[in-house]
Amino acid sequence: MTDSTLTKTNSEAVPIFISESIASKLAEDTLLKAGALQSAIFNSANFSSIATDARGVIQIFNVGAERMLGYAAADVMNKITPADISDPQELIARAKALSVELGTAITPGFEALVFKASRGIEDIYELTYIRKDGTRFPAVVSVTALRDAQNAIIGYLLIGTDNTARKLAEEALLNAGALQRAIFNSANFSSIATDAKGVIQIFNVGAERMLGYTAADVMNKITPADISDPQEVIARAKELSAELATPITPGFEALVFKASRGIEDIYELTYIRKDGSRFPAMVSVTALRDAQDVIIGYLLIGTDNTARKLVEAEQKKLDQRLRDQQFYTRSLIESNIDALMTTDPSGIITDVNKQMEALTGCTRDEMIGAPFKDYFTDPERAEAGIKRVLMEKKVTDYELTARTRDGKETVVSYNATTFYDRGRTLQGVFASARDVTERKQRERDALSLTNEISHRIKNNLQVIVGLISYEAKWTAAPCVQGYKTMQARIGAIAQLYDLISHTSRGQTVAVDAYLREIAKTMSASLLGNMSEIKIEVEGESVEIDPDRAVPFGLLVNELTTNAIKHAFPHGSGRIKLCVERAGNQIDLVISDDGVGMKNRDLAKSPEKRGSDYVAIFVRQLGGAIVPSKQGPTGTTVRIRLPLLLVPSGGTEPLAA
Amino acid sequence: MAVILIVEDDVFIREVAEMLIRDWGHQTLCASDVNEALAILRSPQHIDALFTDIYLKTLVHGGCDLALQAIALRPRLRVLYTTGNTLTDKMKALLVEGTHFLRKPYTQNELQESVKDMLTEK
């Protein structure tokens, strides 16, 4: 395009650029005057300027049209008409409407877009343009016929603006209006409008419902202050006076003062119903102004706040209860005499109580987030403890030594379990540690005392054994054996004393282990390493009470000693010590594979005494000797004893 | 025959032990506590074996300490311990390796076996 031409339009002058052929026919002065505006519009990206020939075929397609419609000028020039980029349905509708309006048949196509303009009628209308990519947008299109000097139509100019933003704004406005109407007509909002002095002018259905007055009761009669809590109005006036540093009257002024100063104002207020009952309302106040911005009244929109208040009160109560509960739980944790702690599954401390602080000399804040193991003398053992809890879910009496920063050590015994959330997801380990320093000290003291007593008893027994040794040294050979037997019995009592403490499991003594110990010590003391006589043990696991363990042991000692002395004249053989459970009783069986009873010389006096001892111990234990069939060789002695956990009724003194 | 140092704070027990051991043909030396024993061990006196009580006067493990020092002084010395108390793991850890132990009260047979074992093995 090398030149420009202006033409007079059907109504207002709409400046345009048209083709060179038309240009020469237009007056130059007009061109000069309007040139700036024209070029501004034509070059503007905000206006689509589309010029066509008389038949509608696009001749000019400016940058604005390109931007809005997504076509390049080359895509459309000399190819299509503006009808081809317009909504076909709208074209049909427009053609129909115009046909009716103008009483002539109009084709749904380009003609429908320009018919009015072609008849010299001003035409601006809304039209939906379709972009190259198929999307649509609303446009306001102004159509002008382009004419030559003879006033013959040589083309049309369609100037369009994208109407999207305006459409959206209109929609929003429409919505807002609907909202206003909805609020004003809603029974859930009280809308009270007053005049500038506060006298109620409008009292909507919501206000009637909430307050119990009819509009007629209040309109032109009272102000909203008259239906508000007077104490609150006074308080509000006082507060506002202080806040805004100006005296405010306790009355309607107090309710609207802020709004009258253009300050947004929403506050809580207690309204009083016609029947005198009260309810909390949330009130929003707006000043109503005329065109000159002079206040002509106020609008007070209120919502009944009762439900919210109730919810708030309930929430407050719940919060308080939760706080009480938390306080209670915490106080339980804190008042525990044990040091309590939780860790996450990796052993990082998540909570501790005061006792734990005392144990470690660190504050709760310092400990939370730190590894549990850091507070013990043996971190590896501490970590292993946590792992064990995670594996076994529970650990009891796990000893660790806690160490404070300044080096103070405390031996503690841990009980720990895993803990879970409601979804049963592992949260970590809960552990309680009890200071066992004192217990440990008591145990140590008890042990030293036991050691001391044991040492003295054994030394005294040793003295007795020594005395016998000394006597035996000067005694004639036949008596020596008697002394030795005596020594053996003393030794047996001493050993039983130790064996009982070795094999006791709390309140009982394990018989099988006890028999094995007796066999071992007897082999050592009576037989020696080189002996070919062997003592074997076969025992069911039976428990006996420690009170009876000594006579039981002496009984075994006596029978075994007899076997050793008499069953094996050739110096080799086997002795078996055995306990069998027989219902509510147990059998102690001492057997040997020696020469048998018949071949023993029962006239010998020490043997007789040994038998006496056996009878005494059996009676003491509340049992009886069960006669056993004796074979040609070997001896079996079976003694039936009541379940030995039953306390002994025997009163016989120990005969040894 | 051997020279055996007997360390026992109870005079009677010590003298009976001496009597028995001498009867078996050995020579004995005796001490009633750690210090006396160490004095003898530090002397040029020939000694083959040490027979010591563990609980010596107020020292719960006095005999153990003594044996350790004795072995340091005389590495080839043989040791036989005795005590009326139960041997705890802690005590066992204090015993000189390859040594013998005899429980109180011991009979002359037990003592004889133990002394024989101590002198023949190692």
Determine whether the interchain pair B105/A464 forms a contact, defined as Cβ–Cβ distance below 8 Å.
yes
Claim to verify: residue A483 and residue A631 sit in the same structural domain: yes
**Alpha-carbon distance A402 to A384, whole Å?**
15
**In a domain? residue A3:** no
Domain count of the fold of chain A: 5
Percent of chain A past pLDDT 90, that is, above it, reads 39
Measured between CB atoms, does A78 come within 8 Å of chain B? no
Instruction: Tell me the β-bridge partners of A129.
Output: A86, A137
Domain final residue, candidates A141, A162, A183: A162
Q: What is the pLDDT of residues A362-391, one digit of tens each?
A: 999 999 999 999 999 999 999 999 999 999
Kindly identify which residue of chain A lies nearest to residue B15, measuring between CA atoms.
Answer: A466
Mind telling me how many Å the CA of B6 is from chain A's nearest CA? 15
> What are the residue boundaries of the structural domains of chain B, listed by start?
3-120
**In a domain? residue A107:** yes
pTM, entire model: 0.48
Claim to verify: residue A379 and residue A464 sit in the same structural domain: no
Contacts of A469 in chain B (CB under 8 A): 16, 19-20, 107-108
Per-residue pLDDT for A76 more than 90? yes
Claim to verify: residue A519 and residue A567 sit in the same structural domain: yes
Domain with A630 in it: what CATH number?
3.30.565.10
Q: Using CB atoms, which residue from A473, A491, A526 is nearest to B105? A: A491
**Alpha-carbon distance A495 to A614, whole Å?**
18
Residue A654's pLDDT is 34
Claim to verify: residue A216 and residue A86 sit in the same structural domain: no
| DSSP at A622 | T
**In a domain? residue A590:** yes
Interface with A, mutate which of B12, B21, B108, B114 (most A CBs under 10 A): B108
Claim to verify: residue A454 and residue A550 sit in the same structural domain: no
Instruction: Considering the domain delimited by B3-120, tell me its CATH architecture.
Output: 3-Layer(aba) Sandwich (3.40)
**Alpha-carbon distance A203 to A196, whole Å?**
15
Q: What is the pLDDT of residues B22-32, one digit of tens each?
A: 999 999 999 99
* Both tokens assigned to A179: 């909202």
**Alpha-carbon distance A52 to A155, whole Å?**
5
Residue A510's pLDDT is 81
Measured between CB atoms, does B110 come within 8 Å of chain A? yes
Q: Which domain does A453 fall in, by range?
A: 442-471
ipTM for the assembly:
0.89
Mean pLDDT value of segment B36-54:
95
Domain with A393 in it: what CATH number?
3.30.450.20
Domain final residue, candidates A162, A193, A212: A162
Measured between CB atoms, does B113 come within 8 Å of chain A? yes
Instruction: Tell me the β-bridge partners of A192.
Output: A203, A300
Q: What is the pLDDT of residues A162-190, one digit of tens each?
A: 877 777 777 776 766 666 676 676 767 88
Contacts of A446 in chain B (CB under 8 A): none
Claim to verify: residue A481 and residue A624 sit in the same structural domain: yes
Kindly identify which residue of chain B lies nearest to residue A450, measuring between CA atoms.
Answer: B85
**In a domain? residue A313:** no
Measured between CB atoms, does B74 come within 8 Å of chain A? no
State the number of CA atoms in the 13 A half-sphere of A259 facing the CB.
Answer: 25
Domain final residue, candidates A304, A321, A356: A304
Strand order in the sheet with A349-352: A349-352, A339-343, A426-435, A409-420, A394-403
Band of residue A602 on the pLDDT scale cut at 50, 70, 90: very low
**Alpha-carbon distance A368 to A428, whole Å?**
14
**In a domain? residue A318:** no
**In a domain? residue A117:** yes
Band of residue A241 on the pLDDT scale cut at 50, 70, 90: very high
Kindly identify which residue of chain A lies nearest to residue B105, measuring between CA atoms.
Answer: A462
State the number of CA atoms in the 13 A half-sphere of A135 facing the CB.
Answer: 7
* Both tokens assigned to A434: 């009890």
Residue A600's pLDDT is 54
Determine whether the interchain pair B19/A459 forms a contact, defined as Cβ–Cβ distance below 8 Å.
no
* Maximum average pLDDT range among A484-493, A636-645, B97-106: B97-106
Claim to verify: residue A76 and residue A215 sit in the same structural domain: no
